Amino acid sequence: MVKRAFLKSWTTINIFLLATCVLTVNAFSQDPDFHIYLAFGQSNMEGNARPESMDLSNVDSRFQLLPAVNWSDGSRTKGTWTTAVPPLCRSSTGLCPADYFGRTLVDSLPERIKIGIINVSVAGCAMDMFMKDKYQNYIKGEASWMKDIANEYGGNPYGRLVEMAKLAQKDGVIKGILLHQGETDAYKGGWEEKVKSVYDDLIDDLGLDASKVPLLAGDLLSSSGAVKNLPNVLPNSYVISSQGLSGADQYHFTADSYRKFGKRYAEIMLKILREQEETGSIEKRPAIVITPGYGLNCRNGIGSVSFKIPERAFVSLKVYTLSGKEITELAGRVYVAGMHTLSIGKGSISTGIVILKMRSGSFVMARSFLGE
């Protein structure tokens, strides 16, 4: 009897503890309509242009910022959501691509959807600054001003980005990662592999699904072959063209170009969202062209892909798994200028999310879609 009473009592305690744990886990709930984006890089993602009056007014409250540091004037607090009036990185930074990325998404998506940005960027840094196994040695060899910036992030910018991202995941869902970096090291070789390493760490550390969280990387003011090559190394990445944008100096964009650049990032993300069919009410629109004269379009459930080129050129069109393994080649020859449509043979592509990559001359574009 004593044993039976003890077991009954112990069972009751376990049920209570289990219920308590469930209540604790569900003390917060992710809002699927709160879309969160992580932004990182160097000075262009920090924001190098002074915000103008048009940038400081009429910012929709649906566009939110989660500061990764405390503002020096006390106006913003680390880890507390606030309306995303620039600057979005630190109090000493300026207008950046994330500004008009967020504004464009808010203007384009249904009113129920909010957009959140977390921006952790360090002027002048190499990609090593965000690599878990390299950042400490890298920081040691850098100038004191860069160390000061890193120290604002607790000496570990990557760690601060993950810290803020985990906090944000209590409120919403991480939808993508924005990158602008490379002026320091994209011309030295191996940059693409470093970006992939940081991306893979973010996916693992935040428990994300790589098939649903793309990385959008902006090209440099002086177009970089390494940046354009990124989709070859990281299939679920997209390169945002800097063609036609103006520079304030050798490396940095003007305020107007930051606005245009941010819109280009947003256009690609809107296209990805439509492909994923995660915002069901978004209107179907024609393919978005990253570089003038070029385009690539594919839709889930449709047995064809189409592409556009501005002049006669060789076009390569291949399908890859998310891990980068080639599945099949759809095109590999010279085409005349204009729009072309290719059929996808039934059963030629395995079921699941795959990456379609197009290359023509210096133009490279990758798109994800659902294979059948």
Q: Which residues are identified as catalytic?
A: 43, 249, 252
Q: Quote the CA–CA distance of 7 and 120 in Å, as a whole number.
A: 53
Instruction: Read off the tokens for 262.
Output: 């941010």
The SS3 assignment for 36 reads strand
Q: Hey, is 32 helix, strand or coil?
A: coil
Collapse the DSSP code of 369 into the 3-class scheme (helix H, G, I; strand E, B; otherwise coil) and give the result. strand
Give yes or no for a cis peptide into 235 (omega within 30° of 0). Answer: no
Close Cβ partners of 109 (under 8 Å, ≥ 6 residues apart): 35, 115, 270, 273, 279, 282
Going by C-beta distance under 8 Å and a sequence separation of 6 or more, which residues neighbour residue 19?
Answer: none
**CA–CA gap between residue 41 and residue 179 (Å, rounded):** 6
Asked if residue 294 lies in contact with residue 243, where contact means CB atoms within 8 angstroms, the answer is no
